[in-house]
Structure 1
């Protein structure tokens, strides 16, 4: 399914925000549009199908580029090194929880057959966090 056939032109965010923030619902319904209409209703093969009264009244609409249907929408996120990467849960987790450095006394506290409560308390004591 194309994103423009499932996206609401009133309730989904555009490059400038929500269309309802620029054009009142009164003006939207006056032109024969309803709030449930999709972006594909406004988009033709030649460009946007804005009502002529909107084109003169709302100059912002003329600056919106036609959608390129050959490109797929992707969500990007800023990675810890400052570059942009494709969104993933792993990248989000790593940006929120940076890796800590390894400690030399790891095997003293965490070993087979340890008591987890004691190991955790020892970890806090050795790391001076208690």
Structure 2
């Protein structure tokens, strides 16, 4: 396989500027260049980019992905560290879900208290202007 960056983007679902960024930060190796100075990619890069894209879709941070990629290069090693990264990510996802649920409850409360009158009497605007009027901690 000897594909262009455009074809790599198409096959992986990752935009060209993002591919260049991943090369810049070292998540993806710099591609060899053709005689016409075009980047050329193979199956290894397609597979690696699919791994990165899927990891990002699941919300993993770049540094976690970097570690996961390094560990995947040692298939016989213990997966303890991979498990640890995934567990830490799960804790963070659960924290965000809890925060979003609190945010939803606060927005539902604000909307339910709306009198559907004029802006000058709007409880939603009042609550947005004064955090003290909120019922719970909903920082996102």
Same fold, TM-score > 0.5, yes or no: no
The one of the two structures with greater contact order (alpha-carbon pairs below 8 A, sep at least 6) is 2
Q: Which has the larger radius of gyration?
A: 1
Q: TM-score, normalised by structure 1?
A: 0.31
Q: Give the alignment's TM-score, normalised by structure 2.
A: 0.30
